[in-house]
Structure 1
Amino acid sequence: MILAGLPILLTISSCTQEVGGQVSPADRTSITGSDATGDEDYRLAPPVDNPRNIAELGPCELLSPTTAGAAGFLPDGILEEEPDGSQRCAWQPEDHPDGRVALWTDVDRRGLHEMYVLQENYPDFREFEVAGYPAVQASLGGATEMYCYIHVGVAEDQFVTFSSSLGMKQDDDPCAQAVRVAEVAVPAFPAA
């Protein structure tokens, strides 16, 4: 009887590998990416009722010059490339050149569901809506008085991250700044 349960125990223990004191994201995705029945269509994120398609947009195309100006930012974004090859685009507030909002996409996985899978890693995880689209606030280490990350689901398999940081003399809430930009950007994305 004890030996019969041993393979199950070994399987369970091999699924929860810790990295730096936390379950690694890759393992979390495989553990919670489906429901208890193994249904791969199981989703933690709310559905997207009016999907957009941002898969073909580059990071600096996510916010038009007109939309950036309407949100209080300089019209042209600055393309930034990460060491891993991923790209994002950053815009500076018109009146605070040391502040910024940066946008990047995730269009290759399961949309906002990816953030829900990892929600226990974010001390500031909070659900809300932006322009009728499901969104979460989730910043590693938690949002502070200077920076915040929000993630907006624009299709079942796509989301956009709005990273916001304030300038030294900027009197604003970084999460409010990110939401303000998202509210004008998301409705302007191409329809799916």
Structure 2
Amino acid sequence: MKFANLAIIVTAAGALSACTSASTAAPKGDVPKLEVPPLSLAKFTGKPCRVFGVDQLDSLGISGPGTPDPEQFAGRCRWSDGSSKATTIGISLFGESQGLARVYAAKGAFPYFRPTEVAAYPAVDRDTGEGTTGTCATVVGIADEAAFEIQVDVDDETSADYATPCAVSKQVAEIALNNIKGGG
């Protein structure tokens, strides 16, 4: 699928920790068990922009290299076409005890929280709205202590993706998952 007016923001490190405290834990029965081989984010630590290859960004309508943006926290990158109605797609890499258990522990903060899968890896679609109004985040558990999140924000209300942002976030999550499996 090719997205028009696409901007990609890539972030890393402790973004999830802003949603939950370090002592918060989800009941073990709520969190889906990883039934596939665990993956590591080590190769992308400090380099989350490398999760997506340049050719993959071209296929999504983005040209040019990402621009690091360390103002939020280390490891943030941004690709933008400069459009006022751009779709923004971001990735956050979570490690160090920040797997799906932390996401489930914070599920009360998200009115839209739907367990799902991405290429057999346990995942969650979540949003502070209804998951049908331009925003959705898909968090994919890749190990007991690691996950990544794809965040989609579609600003153009006339875009078909505006009503189905979780479908977009899952598609981008599958691309990222395949790249993480391959080690970059």
TM-score by length of 1: 0.68
Gaps of 5+ in 1: 1-23, 36-41
The yes-or-no answer on 1:155 pairing with 2:143 is yes
Question: Equivalent pairs: percent with the same residue?
Answer: 23
Alpha carbons of structure 1 residues 130 and 33: separation in structure 2 relative to 1, 3 Å = closer
Cα offsets for 1:27-54 (capped at 9, x unmatched): xx6353576xxxxxx8824215122211
The yes-or-no answer on 1:30 pairing with 2:23 is yes
**In 2, Cα distance between the equivalents of 1:133 and 1:180?**
13
> How far 1:86 sits from its partner (Å)?
4.0
Amino acid in the other structure paired with 2:89: V
Q: Which has the larger radius of gyration?
A: 1
Alpha carbons of structure 1 residues 78 and 181: separation in structure 2 relative to 1, 3 Å = farther
For the residue of structure 1 that corresponds to 2:136, the secondary structure is: strand
Name 1:53's counterpart in structure 2.
40
> How far 1:56 sits from its partner (Å)?
3.0
> How far 1:170 sits from its partner (Å)?
3.0
> How far 1:97 sits from its partner (Å)?
6.7
**In 2, Cα distance between the equivalents of 1:32 and 1:80?**
31
1:134 aligned to which of 103, 122, 137: 122
For the residue of structure 2 that corresponds to 1:138, the secondary structure is: strand
Number of matched pairs = 158
Gaps of 5+ in 2: 1-18
For the residue of structure 2 that corresponds to 1:183, the secondary structure is: helix
Check conservation: 2:99, 2:147, Cα contact below 8 A: yes
**In 2, Cα distance between the equivalents of 1:167 and 1:107?**
30
Q: Deviation above 4 Å: which 4+ runs of structure 1?
A: none
**In 1, Cα distance between the equivalents of 2:160 and 2:84?**
10
**In 1, Cα distance between the equivalents of 2:142 and 2:180?**
9
For the residue of structure 2 that corresponds to 1:52, the secondary structure is: coil
TM-score by length of 2: 0.70
**In 1, Cα distance between the equivalents of 2:77 and 2:30?**
29
For the residue of structure 1 that corresponds to 2:43, the secondary structure is: coil
1:118 aligned to which of 99, 103, 106: 106
Check conservation: 2:94, 2:148, Cα contact below 8 A: yes
For the residue of structure 2 that corresponds to 1:186, the secondary structure is: helix
Alpha carbons of structure 1 residues 171 and 113: separation in structure 2 relative to 1, 3 Å = same
**In 1, Cα distance between the equivalents of 2:110 and 2:71?**
22
